């Protein structure tokens, strides 16, 4: 009660969550207390008993909640109840383990008609029975938390919500600890989510919510919950749901492949999974990975992925996923370069009151597919859930989840959700308005981020921030095609990750050099000069131009030509250790890194032993004559993947004054092994 009324914790109101006509309520977070805590208060047009019923049904509104088991109920003399509760939550990423809680919850009425619901963990220090022990879960603690629900004159309720937890952050890798130590993330994912859900129910109960696609709001809300839950199931891959790791591997550890041959338990008893599984036997396969992003606003990245699906999605994979809903035989697709050729049409279905989440149908028009696929179905459809794309919401997780559906779109349609989740790791800082309004589609047309511009040391005051991106794609498979589907899934997720890294470079204000950072076109004088020096130095040393002809426009600017060249070109320092400084688009692809992280790499980590020896042997020639040709070989990306190349060309890059600037290496006709 003291936390709810504001005296037991040092509360700080969240910036960007101020009360107003369109605000869900007042949101505050803890400052300098044990664990992390968040508090919300707001007015809703529901009676206290209804509010209590909704709040106690945590699985209906807390998207990270996997299960809630009330193991024992004890009535109290004043008409209240004491409950012993075991709760499991999903893992936030593929890089950390999920949490579980063992708590006591007390519900009671007060003399003024208010309801109070308090909850806290049962531990060795508090006494009481010991709760269930489940493998693969980390036990977390609920510090005194709960809900105070006061009736209002004329109807409705004033709600006070307090969440105070210790998520055992020391059990996760240090880089991920901000996920478990951030009261802002707790506020967004749990505290504010509860208040928003109650307000949504009240709004629907008023009859003001229009029906979408002829369905009642509760049905559409169920679809949103199923999409979110299915994606969480895929990310966590719990063994008791039937998930197990696929033993075969291609040698790289960046992509995790899990399979599930128990679809009934996974999809649910109320849903028919039969379209996904033929009489030949099969199951569900999930390819998933997590990666760190530097200086990438989660909302902007997810908004781009939603609005520009053609930049990252492969039509063959979409067609394969759509085929799982039909009786047609499976054909494992080969990935195609160039992305989806057809148009994407977004058909809105529902939007929450706070507009933090939207449900929509995506129609992929069929003229981008092969002739056989067009005959099979002219269009394909996805049910899609998008959330957290408000850039002004501090600590918000941005998510894009989608699943193939057929045209009938039945209420019990089976769903295999795939998608993206981006969670900020650090406190949110202001993003320059130029970055917020960046047209990423046009930026990508000239490469990952297009041009470059200068930034003075005083700059805009932004500091380095990080996010963790989790990608999970699910596919159905028949047993005889399992290995082929696994190979396709690995290749597809890696390709999507590489594209996302390029997108991240386009929207990241990370420094390229001491005074240069990536921005949208037109390019800066510094960037144009660098590209000009690279091309001019190559021409001076060889007497010929770099083969710009395999770019789209050989008459373009030096920066555009450099960026879009198909061979990977990377630049590094001339001093020992050869620290990497920059690359073209193909160079960042072969390195599998971003502008923010490229300077953490050294050339010796990229070249294998043979490549290093060849470069060291030719280095005196390069410094004296300016250029040397190196034999083909194998190099390694920052993620440990190997790529082969037919030949490497190394040359000294000099500036306008003739002073050496850097060493450039071009890997000719490279490909991942």
Kindly tell me the burial class for residue 433, based on how many C-beta atoms sit within 10 Å of its own C-beta (0-12, 13-18, 19 or more): exposed
Specify the residue for token string 């055992």.
168
Q: Is the per-residue pLDDT at 185 higher than 80?
A: yes
The dihedral over CA atoms of 619, 620, 621, 623, expressed in degrees to the nearest 10, equals 90
SS3 for 181-227 is HCHHHHHHHHHHHHHHHHHHHHHHHCCCCCCECCECHHHHHHHHHHH
Instruction: State the helix-helix crossing angle for 482-507 and 298-307, rounded to 10 degrees.
Output: 120
Q: Is the per-residue pLDDT at 523 higher than 60?
A: no
The Cβ of residue 637 has, within 10 Å, a number of other Cβ atoms equal to 22
Q: Is the per-residue pLDDT at 172 higher than 70?
A: yes
| Lowest-confidence region among 292-301, 552-561, 577-586 | 552-561
Structure token pair of residue 310: 């053609």
The Cβ of residue 3 has, within 10 Å, a number of other Cβ atoms equal to 23
Q: Is the per-residue pLDDT at 188 higher than 60?
A: yes
Specify the residue for token string 């046009």.
442
| Lowest-confidence region among 135-149, 269-283, 449-463 | 449-463
Taking the C-alpha atoms of residue 421 and residue 402, their distance in angstroms, rounded to an integer, is 12
pLDDT tier for residue 457 given thresholds of 50, 70 and 90: very low
Fold match flag (237-266+279-326+343-367+378-427+464-507 vs 525-672): no
Q: Is the per-residue pLDDT at 230 higher than 90?
A: yes
pLDDT tier for residue 219 given thresholds of 50, 70 and 90: confident
Q: Is the per-residue pLDDT at 552 higher than 50?
A: no
pLDDT tier for residue 647 given thresholds of 50, 70 and 90: very high
In this structure, are residues 630 and 611 in contact, taking their beta carbons and an 8 Å threshold?
Answer: yes
Q: Is the per-residue pLDDT at 57 higher than 70?
A: yes
Q: How far is the CA of 667 from the CAs of 512, 562, 664, in angstroms?
A: 21, 13, 10
The Cβ of residue 59 has, within 10 Å, a number of other Cβ atoms equal to 13
The dihedral over CA atoms of 580, 581, 584, 588, expressed in degrees to the nearest 10, equals 50
Range list of H helices, 23-103:
48-56
Question: Greater confidence, 592 or 19?
Answer: 592
Structure token pair of residue 656: 């306008």
pLDDT tier for residue 447 given thresholds of 50, 70 and 90: very low
User: What's domain 525-672's superfamily in CATH?
Assistant: PAS domain (3.30.450.20)
Helix, coil or strand: residue 344: strand
Q: Average pLDDT for residues 613-626, to the nearest whole number? A: 89
| Lowest-confidence region among 66-70, 269-273, 446-450, 468-472 | 446-450
Beta strands per DSSP E along 35-156 = 36-44, 65-75, 81-89, 99-109, 115-121, 138-139, 141-142, 145-151
Taking the C-alpha atoms of residue 187 and residue 193, their distance in angstroms, rounded to an integer, is 8
Taking the C-alpha atoms of residue 535 and residue 558, their distance in angstroms, rounded to an integer, is 8
Helix, coil or strand: residue 112: coil
Question: Greater confidence, 341 or 234?
Answer: 234
Q: Would you kindly state where each structural domain of the chain is located, as residue ranges? A: 11-206, 237-266+279-326+343-367+378-427+464-507, 525-672
Q: Is the per-residue pLDDT at 157 higher than 60?
A: yes
Q: Is the per-residue pLDDT at 450 higher than 70?
A: no
Q: Is the per-residue pLDDT at 282 higher than 50?
A: yes
Q: Average pLDDT for residues 479-506, to the nearest whole number? A: 88
Taking the C-alpha atoms of residue 65 and residue 288, their distance in angstroms, rounded to an integer, is 20
Q: Is the per-residue pLDDT at 149 higher than 60?
A: yes
pLDDT at 510: 46
- Helix, strand and coil percent figures for the chain, each rounded to 5: 30, 30, 40
Taking the C-alpha atoms of residue 301 and residue 303, their distance in angstroms, rounded to an integer, is 5
DSSP state of 95: T
SS3 for 402-451 is EEEECCCCCCCCCCCCEEEEEEECCCCCCCCHHHHCCCHHHHHHCCCCCC
pLDDT tier for residue 623 given thresholds of 50, 70 and 90: confident
The tally of CA atoms less than 13 A away on the side-chain side of residue 323 is 23
In this structure, are residues 345 and 321 in contact, taking their beta carbons and an 8 Å threshold?
Answer: no
- CATH code for the part of the protein at 11-206: 3.30.530.20
Length of the chain: 673
218-228 core/surface letters (b: 16 or more CB in 10 A; e: else): eebbebbebbb
Q: What is the pLDDT of residues 389-441, one digit of tens each?
A: 876 666 678 999 999 988 777 888 888 999 999 998 864 333 333 333 233 33
pLDDT at 237: 92
Angle, CA 560 vertex, CA 554 and CA 563 arms, to 5°: 110
In this structure, are residues 332 and 323 in contact, taking their beta carbons and an 8 Å threshold?
Answer: no
Q: Is the per-residue pLDDT at 667 higher than 90?
A: yes
Taking the C-alpha atoms of residue 121 and residue 468, their distance in angstroms, rounded to an integer, is 29
pLDDT at 15: 61
Average pLDDT, the chain: 79
Q: What is the pLDDT of residues 113-134, one digit of tens each?
A: 899 999 999 998 888 888 899 9
Q: Average pLDDT for residues 29-42, to the nearest whole number? A: 87
Q: Average pLDDT for residues 328-357, to the nearest whole number? A: 66
pLDDT at 232: 95
Cis before residue 650, ω within 30 degrees of 0?
A: no
pLDDT tier for residue 584 given thresholds of 50, 70 and 90: confident
Highest mean pLDDT: which range of 141-150, 244-253, 651-660: 141-150
360-379 core/surface letters (b: 16 or more CB in 10 A; e: else): bbbbbebebbeeebeebbeb
pLDDT at 326: 62
Q: How far is the CA of 34 from the CAs of 140, 194, 319, 601, in angstroms?
A: 13, 23, 50, 38
Selected from 3.30.530, 3.40.50, 3.30.420, 3.30.70, the CATH number assigned to the domain covering 237-266+279-326+343-367+378-427+464-507 reads 3.30.530
High-pLDDT (> 70) share of the chain, %:
77
Taking the C-alpha atoms of residue 464 and residue 509, their distance in angstroms, rounded to an integer, is 9
Taking the C-alpha atoms of residue 167 and residue 175, their distance in angstroms, rounded to an integer, is 15
Q: Is the per-residue pLDDT at 474 higher than 90?
A: yes
Q: For strands 141-142 and 243-245, give the pairing.
A: unpaired
pLDDT at 18: 47
């Amino acid at each position: 009660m003291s936390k709810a009324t504001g005296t037991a914790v040092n509360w700080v109101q969240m910036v960007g969550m101020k009360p107003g006509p369109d605000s869900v309520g007042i949101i505050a977070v803890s400052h300098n207390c044990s664990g992390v805590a968040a508090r919300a208060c707001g007015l809703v047009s529901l009676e206290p008993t209804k509010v209590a019923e909704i709040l106690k049904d945590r699985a209906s509104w807390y998207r990270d909640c996997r299960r809630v088991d009330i193991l024992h109920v004890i009535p109290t003399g004043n008409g209240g109840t004491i409950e012993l509760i075991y709760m499991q939550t999903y893992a936030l990423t593929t890089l950390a383990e999920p949490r579980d809680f063992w708590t006591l919850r007390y519900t009671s009425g007060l003399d003024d008609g208010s309801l109070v619901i308090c909850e806290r963990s049962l531990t060795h220090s508090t006494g009481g029975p010991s709760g269930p022990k489940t493998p693969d879960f980390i036990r977390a603690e609920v510090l005194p938390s709960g809900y105070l629900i006061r009736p209002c004159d004329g109807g409705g309720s004033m709600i006070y919500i307090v969440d105070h937890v210790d998520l055992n952050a020391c059990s996760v890798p240090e880089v991920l600890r901000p996920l478990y130590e951030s009261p802002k993330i707790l506020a967004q994912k749990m505290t504010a989510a509860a208040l928003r859900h109650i307000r949504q129910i009240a709004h629907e109960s008023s009859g003001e919510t229009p029906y979408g696609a002829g369905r009642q709001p509760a049905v559409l809300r169920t679809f949103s919950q199923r999409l979110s839950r299915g994606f969480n199931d895929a990310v966590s891959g719990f063994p008791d749901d039937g998930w197990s790791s696929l033993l075969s591997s291609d040698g790289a550890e960046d992509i995790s492949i899990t399979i599930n041959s128990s679809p009934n338990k996974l999809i649910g008893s109320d849903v028919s999974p039969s379209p996904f599984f033929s009489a030949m036997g099969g199951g569900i396969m999930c390819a998933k990975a997590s990666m760190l992003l530097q200086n990438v606003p989660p909302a902007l990245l997810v908004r781009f992925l939603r609005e520009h699906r053609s930049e990252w999605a492969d039509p063959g994979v979409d067609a394969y996923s759509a085929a799982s809903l039909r009786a047609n035989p499976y054909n494992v697709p080969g990935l195609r370069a160039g992305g989806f050729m057809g148009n994407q049409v977004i058909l809105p279905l529902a939007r929450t009151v706070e507009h933090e989440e939207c449900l929509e149908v995506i129609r992929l028009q069929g003229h981008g597919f092969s002739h056989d696929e067009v005959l099979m179905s002219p269009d394909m459809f996805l049910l899609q859930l998008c959330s957290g794309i408000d850039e002004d919401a501090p600590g918000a997780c941005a998510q894009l989840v989608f699943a193939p559906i057929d045209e009938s779109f039945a209420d019990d349609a089976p769903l295999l959700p795939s998608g993206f989740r981006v969670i900020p790791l650090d406190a949110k800082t202001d993003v320059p308005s130029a970055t917020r309004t960046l047209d990423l589609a046009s930026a990508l047309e000239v490469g990952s981020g297009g041009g470059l511009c200068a930034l003075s040391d005083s700059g805009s005051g932004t500091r380095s921030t990080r996010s963790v991106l989790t990608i999970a794609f699910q596919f159905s498979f028949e047993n005889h095609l399992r290995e082929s589907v696994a190979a396709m899934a690995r290749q597809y997720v890696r390709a999507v990750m590489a594209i996302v890294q390029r997108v991240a470079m386009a929207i990241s204000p990370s420094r390229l050099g001491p005074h240069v950072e990536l921005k949208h076109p037109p390019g800066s004088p510094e960037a144009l000069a660098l590209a000009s020096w690279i091309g001019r130095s190559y021409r001076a040393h060889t007497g010929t131009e770099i083969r710009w002809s395999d770019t789209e426009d050989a008459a373009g600017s030096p920066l555009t030509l450099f960026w879009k060249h198909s061979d990977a070109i990377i630049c590094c320092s001339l001093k020992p250790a050869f620290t990497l400084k920059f690359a073209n688009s193909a160079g960042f692809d072969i390195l599998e890194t971003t502008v923010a992280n490229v300077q953490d790499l050294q050339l010796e980590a990229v070249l294998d032993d043979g490549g290093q020896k060849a470069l060291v042997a030719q280095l005196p020639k390069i410094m004296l004559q300016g250029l040397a040709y190196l034999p083909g070989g194998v190099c390694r990306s920052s993620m440990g993947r190997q790529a082969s190349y037919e030949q490497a060309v190394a040359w000294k890059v000099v500036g306008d004054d003739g002073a050496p600037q850097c060493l450039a290496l071009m890997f000719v006709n490279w490909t991942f092994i």
